[in-house]
Amino acid sequence: MGVSSSPLLTRKAWTAFLVCLLAVGVLAPVLNLWVPAGSALHLSDYAIALIGKIMCYAICALAMDLIWGYTGILSLGHGLFFALGGYVMGMYLMRQIGRDGQYQSDLPDFMVFLDWKELPWHWALSDSFVATVLLVVLVPGVIAGVFGFFAFRSRIKGVYFSIITQAMTFAAMLLFFRNETGFGGNNGFTDFKRILGLPIATPGMRITLFMLTGLTLLGCFLFARWLVTSKYGRVLQAIRDAESRVMFSGYSPLPYKLSIWVISAVMCGVAGALYVPQVGIINPGEMSAANSIEIAVWAAVGGRASLIGPIVGAFLVNGAKSWLTVTAPEFWLYFLGALFIVVTLYLPNGVVGLLRKPVGVIGLIEKFKRKGGAA
């Protein structure tokens, strides 16, 4: 799919989107505290959890847009970084359970069940919230940095890079499935009770986590906007369009590709850390290849190289998934496949690309007709 190098939206559209993002992520939950539970304007606990989860996914889609839409590197392994951030937060939440667990031990319940006598070395800092916040950034960042350095230095690109990122994610998933690694095996972490000593299941805490996620999404969006409009961002787009010419112009692509790769991974790690306390579980299934592919689908459906597009795509696809998996679960995968095919053939700039010109929808209809006539 081609990606337009010109801006997709006007300044007014950017402003309107920022206002909507701020309203959804911050104003709506604040007003929800004063709206009676029986009112049509009141968001249910299910709606708060669902929108909060989708905002975490939107951060991942935005991260994918930076590495794929603006740099031209398709990753099929970003689910790993999302899960790593989630596991770091999950380890902290498991330590917060303390002796309130089933076995009334300082060790997590699954370790007592497996007859562990002490915490593994990698759990050493899991009882500190400050250390957890740092590790949420450092663990995905360091792993992405090491992997990216060797991959980009070897000039692996295109489909080969996509394949090895997926292989890396699959290998990590198999590792985390093993009970002896100390990550809860197949079941992962769940049954969280407190965060920072406060109950995690209260309406006030749910709203707090929701608002924090909304502010993080807004911050990531503004940071990404600043990044891609700077000289650094222009070099990234030049690498995407003609990497050889960038090298001949005196720029080394390696530091640019490596740095944006690490930034993208860290954003996914932060999203995973915000996801876990709201959903209440983290297990190796979050590292599955399908999850990483879905992140790419969100970015493609919304519109690559637009920043707004991936966020819109995450909300559209996951909103449809939540509805279809309840009303017609057997059709969800067919719908997802058909959606991606339509976007690939007829919407190279995604859904947001339709707003680029007033005749966008008319042009799309004409394109359908031309395709039908050619067939």
What are the tens digits of pLDDT across the range 231-251? 999 999 999 999 999 999 889
pLDDT for 292 equals 94
Say if 247 falls within a structural domain.
yes
Say if 239 falls within a structural domain.
yes
207: pLDDT strictly greater than 80: yes
Give the number of domains in the chain.
Answer: 1
Residues above pLDDT 70, as percent of the chain: 82
DSSP 42: P
Which residue did the predictor score with more confidence, 184 or 30? 184
pTM equals 0.88
**Cα gap 246→240, rounded to integer Å:** 10
Which of 357, 347, 368 minimizes the C-alpha distance to 299? Answer: 347
335-342, Cβ contacts within 8 angstroms, sequence gap of 24 or more: 336/294, 336/297, 339/297, 339/301, 340/297, 340/300, 340/301
Say if 4 falls within a structural domain.
no
Say if 343 falls within a structural domain.
yes
Coarse DSSP helix, strand, coil percentages of the chain, rounded to the nearest 5 percent: 75, 0, 25
Q: Which residues lie below 8 Å from residue 201, measured CB to CB, with a gap of 6+?
A: 193
What are the tens digits of pLDDT across the range 72-98? 999 999 999 999 999 999 999 999 887
Say if 300 falls within a structural domain.
yes
Which amino acid would we find at residue 21? L
Say if 69 falls within a structural domain.
yes
Which range of residues forms the domain containing residue 68? 11-374
119: pLDDT strictly greater than 60: yes
What are the tens digits of pLDDT across the range 145-190? 999 999 999 999 999 999 999 999 999 999 999 998 999 999 999 9
pLDDT for 342 equals 84
Say if 1 falls within a structural domain.
no
Helix (H, G, I), strand (E, B) or coil at 281: strand
**Cα gap 82→252, rounded to integer Å:** 29
